[in-house]
Chain A
Amino acid sequence: MIAHDFDYHAPRSLADALALLGQADAAVLGGGTWLVPNMTYGRQRPSAVVDIRRLGLDAIEIAGDIVVGAGVTYRQVLQSEALRAKLPLLAMMAGQVTGGPQIVGQATLGGSACYANPSSDVPACLVALDATLRLASRTGHREVKAADFYTGAFQTTRRPDEMLTHMVFAPPPGGAGCGYHKLKFSTGSWPIVTAACIAVAATDGGPRHRLAVGGANAVPVLLEIDGRDPDEAVAARLPSLISQEWSDEFAGAGYRRQVAPAIASRALRQARGAR
C-alpha cells in the first residue's frame, strides 16, 4: 500500500510524456516491479508517475541493428524467435529471471537498466553486448554506451527529466558464442554475481572475449580478453577492477571479489563451448 498521494499519467505521445517528466519529481513507470514496492516502503515518493505503457516502447525491431524498446518485458524477449537467434545472451538472461510469470511478464528490461541495482541481471548484459542506450527529454535526444551509463549503485548518467526509450545492439559477428552464468544461493535469492560473455573468433591468437561481471561491484565490470586461456587473465585482472565491491544481506565484504573470477570463467567456458 502506498501511503502518499501522487498523480498517475499514462500519456499517448512521447512528447507528452517528456513534458510531464520535465516537471519536478516525476518517476517513469515501466513494469513497476521496483517502483511500486519502493513507493510502498516509502523509499521513493514521486509526486507524479508517468506510465510508458501507451508509448509504443514495447517493440523489438531487427533490421540491421537490433532495437529493443525500453518497455519490452522478459517474456517478450523469451518469446521473440528472431531476438533469440540474434542475441541469445539476452534470452539466456531473461530465462533465469525469478519471480514467476508475474515478474517475467510484467518487468521491463528498461526498468532494470535504469534502476542500476548492482544485483540485477540486465546491466552487465547490456555492457557485455556493448549496447547503446537512447535517452530522450523534452530538450533533445542523446545516446550513451552502456559502459558509460552506470556511474554507481543505483546511479546512472540519466537525468531525472530523461527517459530511456530504446536499447540498441549491433548484431554480434557470425560465429560469436555467448555465455551467461549466475551465482545465486537459492531459487529466491537475488543474483550474487553474474557474468555475461561474448566470444568472437579472431583470425589468430584464439578468440576475443568481451566479458561483463555484474553483482560484484557497484557498477558492471568490463573485461576484454584475448587468447585461448583467458582464465588466468580473469583471475589476475578482475579482482582489482572490483573497486567498489557490493555487499548485502546475502554476502558480506570480500566474498564477491573472491568468487567473481570463478563465475567469470564459467561464462567464458560456456561462450567458447557455445560457439
Chain B
Amino acid sequence: MAIPEQESAANGTGPALSHAGVGTAAWVGRDIPRKDADRFVLGHIDYTADMIAPGTLRVAIVRSSHAHARIGRIDTAAASAAPGVVAVFTGADVRACSAPMPTRVPRERFPGPVDIWCLAADEVLYVGQPIAAVVATSLNDAEAAKSLVEIDYDMLEPVLDAAAALAPGGALARADWPTNVVARDTIRQGDLDRAFQAAFRTVGGEISFGSGTSAPMEPRCYIADWDDRASHLTLHGTLQQPHPTRWMLAQVLGLREAQIRVVAPPAGGTFGLKMVGHPEEALVAILSRELKRPVAFLESREECFLANAREQTHRFEIAADAQGRIIAFRNTIVADVGAIGAGGGWVMAMVTPTVFPTVYDVPNVAVDAVAVTTNKPPWQGIRGYGKETANLVMERAVELIAVELGMSSIEVRRRNLLPKQAFPHRLPSGLNLDSGDYAPALDQLLDLFPLDEWRQRQQDADSNDKRIGIGFAFDLTPEGASFPGSMQAGFETSTVTVDPTGTVRVATSVTSPGGGNETGIAQIVADVFGLLPDDVTIIQGDTDITPFGTGNTSSRSLMFGGAAAVLAARELKSRVAACAATLLQAEPGELVFAQGRICVDADADRSVPFKQAVSTIYTHAYSIAADIELPLQVIKTYRSPNIRHVPDEFGRISAYPSFPYSVHAAAIEIDVATAQVRVLDYAAIHDCGVVVNPGLVEGQFRGAVAMGIGAALWEELLYDESGATRTNRFKSYVLPRAPDLPRIRMGHRVTPSPFQPLGTKGAGESGFGGAMSVITNAIADALGEHGRHVNRVPFKPDRLLPLLAGALS
C-alpha cells in the first residue's frame, strides 16, 4: 500500500516523527484517515440510541419545577393508571431498593451528609432535578403520563448566585448542609506584599464568566438489561468511563463487578458531558432490576441543556518591575458550581486555581479559590475543565500590565515566558510542567499571522463604523487528570494480543469520544511490530473485554492508554523476536521489524515474515517456541512518572502529567452600531509533543478553537429568576456554524514530553482557553483605552454595546 506523505511539517527542535524507542516510526507522525471513517460517514455505526431493542421499556423523567423545595406528597396514582404505563418510581421507591450514588465530595472537607440518590428523596436542589420516573411501553406513553404525577412542594429559599451563597447568614442551598462552601484552595509562592510594594507598575481587574455547556450532537442515552435468572446486568450507554460507571453501579445495586457489564458504543461527541455520575445511569439499572425488563432513557435536547459549567468571577492584580518583568500576581476566584450531584463536574472549579500563572515565570503568586453550591443545575464536565478561565484571566492581566508599562504586550510576554531550559518547572500549585518552548512558538506564530498588515487595516478602518481589534494569547492546558481518591486515579491499561494469524488486537481501558484515538493507538502499535495500522484492531468500551481504567477524560487516551499498549507491545515483540532469532539463526538484538517482516539488521536478505514467526510460536510450543511465554498476550498499565500524589514540602500534589500549550492570534471586527463581533482572521501554533497523527491533532485543535470562539461570543446558559434554564434549545443557545468561523491557520511545534515513552502530551482540550482568551484580547484591543473595562465573557452584543459607547466618547 502507498504510504501517504506527511502534510503538516512539524517545526521545531525535537525529533518530529519518532522518539525514544518507538521503533522505525513508519506510522507515527502520519496523517492517515481514521479507522472506520467510512462506516461513520455512511451511517453504518450504531450509536447507543440505535440499540434500543423493540420491547424495551422507556423512561420519562418528572423533573423539579422549583429550584429549592422540600418534596411533600407525591401522587402517582393517575400516572400509574395511564395507558402504557408499567410503573412510576419516586425517590422513596429508589431508596427502598438501592444505595446512594458514590460522590466526589470529599467528606473530610465537607461535613454534611452527602447522600445522592438518582431520584430526589426529600429535597430538590435545582429546576430539572429528577423526582419521579414514569416507565411505559412507549416513550410517547411515558411522556404523556408525566403530567399526571402530582407533587406537593414545600418551598425553601433558593440560592441562585455566588454572592447569595456567600452572604453571612444567608440561605443554604442544601438544607442539611451547614455551609454553601464546597471547597477552598489557597496557593502561595513568595512574598506578595513585598513584591507589590516594590513594583514599578501594578494593575488589577475583574472578570466574570457566564455559564456554558458542552452540547454534543448526540445527547445521553442509557439502556439497562437485567437478566434475573443470571443475576446479571448489562448497561449500554453514552459513557466515557465504562469502568467507573460499573464501579458506581456495583455500589448502587449492591452487586459484584462480575455481575455487571457496561458497554459504551461509539459516541457522537461528549466534550466531558458523558463522564460518570448522571442520575439516569443508575436509574435505568435500578428500574430494569425491579421490573425485570430492559429499560432505556434517551435524553431530550432540552434535558441536555441542564448541564451547567464554568460560572466564575475572578479579581486579580498583577505587578511588574521597570524592565517589564512580572514580579507578582494574585487572584481571588469564586465559582458557582450549582447543586452537587454524583458527578465530579464541580471539581473543575478547583482545577482553575492550579494553572496560574500559566506559561509565565512569576516569582510571587497568590491564588485563593472558593467553590460554592447554589440551586442551579450541577456542573458537568466540559472541555477546558476549568483551565480555560485561568488562561483567560492571565492573558488579560498581561495585557493590562503591558498598557501600564507602555510596552507592547508581545514584548511583555517575551520577557516573561518560561525559557526552554527552565523545564521541568514547578507551578505554585505543585503542578510540574513537563516541557515547553514558548518564545519560539510566538515567533512561529508571527510568521503565520500578518500582524503589520492587520495593524494597518486597524488604522485605516473608520472607527465610527467598524473597529478592528487584534489579540494574542497563550494557552497552557494541563492534561491527563489523575486525582487521588477518585476513579480518575491516573492510570490506564491495555491488553495487547498477537493472534495466530499474526494480526494484533489491543483491548484498552480508554474509550473514544469520536476523536480518533483508536487510530492513533493503532499507529503506534503498528510501528512496534512493523505492521500496518490496518493489522491492528482496537477494542474499547466494554468492561467484559477491556481492562480496568478511567476511560476517556482529560486527553488521556493516547498519553496513557497508548503508552500502556506500547509497553505491552514491546514485550510481545521481544517474544516474537526470540522465535525469529531461532528461525534466522541470529541474535534477537540484531532484528528489525518492518513492513511485515523481521530481518537481520545487517543482512536484509535474511528475513522471515512476521506472520510466520507468530504461527511458529503458536504451533511449536514444545520445540522452537518452548521458551516463549504463551499466549502472545500482555497486559500493561501505564502510570505517569510526572504525577505526584504525595504532598511536597508545600503540601501540594501534582495531578496532571502533561502540559500542551498553544499561542493564538486573531483579528476581529466590531460593528459599532450593533456591537456585533466577527472573527476575521485566526492563526495558532500548537505543541503537544510528538504528534502521532497530525490530522487527528488538527481536528481536535480546530474543534477546540471553534468551541472557544463560541464560548467567547455567543454561548451562554441563562437562568430566569426562578432558576429555570432559559436557553434550552439550539435556537436560544447558539453554537458557531461554519460561516461564523474564519479559516483557522495552524502550525505545529514539537517539544516532546520527557516523561512519556512516546514523547506525546494530551491533545483534545488544548486550544479552547486560548481561543476564548484571544477573542477577549482582540475585543479589548478594538475598544482602545476603554478595553481595560472588559469584564465579562461571553461578549454578547447587549453587554458589549455600553462598553463600545464608552470607547467612542
* A contact residues vs B (CB 8 Å cutoff): 1-5, 41-42, 183, 185-190, 248-252, 254-255, 258-259, 262-263
Contact = CB atoms under 8 A, between A and B. Distances in A.
A248 B735 CA distance: 17
Contacts of A189: 714, 734
Given A249-B726, A252-B798, A190 B143 contact: no
A219 B413 CA distance: 52
21 contacts: A1-B143, A3-B147, A183-B674, A183-B676, A185-B714, A185-B796, A186-B734, A187-B740, A188-B737, A188-B740, A249-B718, A249-B732, A249-B733, A250-B796, A250-B798, A254-B798, A255-B798, A258-B801, A259-B673, A259-B674, A259-B801
Nearest to A99: B731
B139 A249 contact: no
A99 B796 CA distance: 22
B796 A251 contact: yes
A101 B738 CA distance: 16
A148 to B, nearest CB: 29
B736 interface: yes
A1 B139 contact: yes
B730 A188 contact: yes
Contacts of B732: 248-250
Nearest to B139: A1
Contacts of A262: 673-674
B402 interface: no
B140 interface: yes
B739 A187 contact: yes
B727 A185 contact: no
A202 to B, nearest CB: 28
Contacts of B796: 185, 250-251
Given A42-B147, A187-B736, A187-B738, 13 more contacts: A2-B140, A183-B674, A186-B714, A188-B734, A188-B735, A190-B731, A249-B733, A251-B796, A254-B798, A255-B797, A259-B797, A262-B673, A263-B673
Nearest to B83: A5
Among A2, A41, A259, A263, residue most surrounded by chain B Cβ atoms (within 10 Å) = A259
A186 B144 CA distance: 35
B404 interface: no
Contacts of A5: 144
Contacts of A258: 801
B302 interface: yes
Among A5, A41, A189, A249, residue most surrounded by chain B Cβ atoms (within 10 Å) = A249
Interface string B135-153: 0000110011011000000
A112 to B, nearest CB: 15
A30 to B, nearest CB: 18
Interface string B203-244: 000000000000000000000000000000000000000000
Interface of B: 139-140, 143-144, 146-147, 302, 673-676, 713-714, 718, 726-727, 730-740, 796-798, 801
Given A183-B676, A250-B796, A255-B797, A188 B731 contact: yes
B144 A249 contact: no
B775 to A, nearest CB: 13
A259 B139 CA distance: 45
A3 B797 contact: no
Given A3-B143, A188-B731, A251 B737 contact: no
A231 to B, nearest CB: 12
B140 A249 contact: no
Query: 4 smallest A-B Cβ distances: which pairs?
Result: A262-B673, A255-B798, A3-B143, A187-B737
B338 to A, nearest CB: 19
A250 B796 CA distance: 8
Contacts of B734: 185-186, 188-189
Nearest to A253: B798
Nearest to B715: A186
Nearest to B716: A249
Contacts of A4: 144
Given A41-B302, A190-B731, A3 B714 contact: no
Contact of A185 (B140, B673, B676): B676
B35 to A, nearest CB: 30
B727 A186 contact: no
A3 B735 contact: no
B743 to A, nearest CB: 16
A190 B731 CA distance: 7
Nearest to B146: A3
Nearest to A2: B140
A249 B797 contact: no
Contacts of A249: 718, 726-727, 732-733
Contacts of B673: 259, 262-263
Given A1-B140, A190-B731, A262-B674, A185 B726 contact: no
A186 B737 CA distance: 8
Contacts of A250: 732, 796, 798
A254 to B, nearest CB: 7
A254 B799 CA distance: 11
A189 B144 CA distance: 31
Contacts of B675: 259
A12 B718 CA distance: 45
Nearest to A249: B732
Contact of A186 (B143, B726, B736): B736
A5 B138 CA distance: 14
A245 B650 CA distance: 57
A181 B740 CA distance: 18
